[in-house]
Amino acid sequence: MTYAPILLFVYNRPEHTHRLITSLLANREAAESPLIIYADQARNETDRLHVEEVRTYLRSLKGFGNITLVERTENWGLARNIIDGVTTQLARYGRVIVLEDDLVVSPYFLQFMNEALETYKDEERVGHIQACDFTQDPSLPDTFLIKWTGSWGWATWDHAWKHFNPNGQELLEELERRKLTRTFDFDGNYPFTRMLRRQIAGLNNSWAIRWNASLFLADILSLNVGKSLVQNTGFDGSGTNCGGGNLYGSTLWSQPLPVVPIHPVTENKEAREAFARYYHRTNCFWAKAIRRIKRTLRGDFGA
């Protein structure tokens, strides 16, 4: 098998970056996989020292099939970086695996992602692979199809990325025109539509909400896992979009996860209901109120 390139997006977190690279190197496929790293430039003098520390570490990196380090000369921000990097490398390779610096992966992550990319390469209705499960719902099967895209350890193909629409306003108008906002929000249990509105208003710069909406509107499914091959370690206040707490914690699955073709290629309704239950449990008024009280008691007065 020719292994898909791994796209890694980093900024100013040397410890997180080192943990991710160490976990990747525990995958036997790493030695034959191209690694393409996009290192963003510091947005201010405060970040500059850590940005350079990350780059110094990456310049001496070994253990992958080949390594390309793209050092931005200006601060691009995560969304622009990912959109450009994914678009560029899909034009070259046709498929990519995408990681950010605050993730840790299982020793079987690359095996699963490459097998899934190969298994579903000709299935136009599957456009995304997501290897992180944070619901920890025991009712979920090992793999399933759902109309939702996660952004923590994912992969796609050029035939799917062509559906990506960076224009949030157009996506919102189409969701509203087709009266799909409630379904998009898992029956109103998570404010994905609100996230999209905030992106349009410039209150966030999420590429992921636009990718999620793009595939949702195209009726394209994601292959998801019920056993997580990825952990997000960024909920420590170190990232732009990740606050404290363990709301989206996951238990890392450290065994092979077989890719068994799913037929028919339709959304797993039970899995969708499991996600709706999870979001309801974690995002209802009382759940959010309790989290805010706990943060206040810890002395965390952030939003």
Where the chain has pLDDT below 70, the residues are 235-247, 284-303
Pick from 23, 6, 5: nearest CA to 15: 23
- For residues 201, 206, 207, 208, the Cα torsion angle rounded to the nearest 10 degrees is -120
Boundaries of every domain in the chain: 6-163+218-297
Q: β-strand 126-130 against 154-157: which pairing, if any?
A: antiparallel
CA dihedral sign of residues 150, 153, 155, 161: positive
pTM: 0.92
Residues 200-242 pLDDT 10s: 999 999 999 999 999 999 999 999 999 999 999 986 555 544 4
The whole-number pLDDT of residue 242 equals 46
What's the pLDDT at 249?
77
Q: Give the pLDDT score at 246.
A: 60
Tokens of 81: 């970086």
Helix (H) / strand (E) element for 176: namely helix 168-177
CA-to-CA distance for 101 and 165, rounded, in angstroms? 25
**Sign of the torsion angle spanned by Cα atoms 32, 33, 34, 35:** negative
Domain 6-163+218-297 fold is Spore Coat Polysaccharide Biosynthesis Protein SpsA; Chain A (3.90.550)
pLDDT at 105: 98
| Dihedral of the alpha carbons of 155, 157, 159, 160, in degrees to the nearest 10 | 0
pLDDT of residue 295: 54
Q: What is the pLDDT of residue 244?
A: 41
103-119 pLDDT, tens digit each: 999 999 999 999 999 99
3-class secondary structure, 135: coil
| Backbone dihedral region for residue 94 (phi beyond 0: left; psi -120 to 50: alpha; all else: beta) | left
Inter-CA distances, 113 with 4, 52, 90, Å: 9, 31, 16
Q: What is the pLDDT of residue 234?
A: 80
Query: Of 281, 269, 279, which Cα lies nearest the Cα of 141?
Result: 269
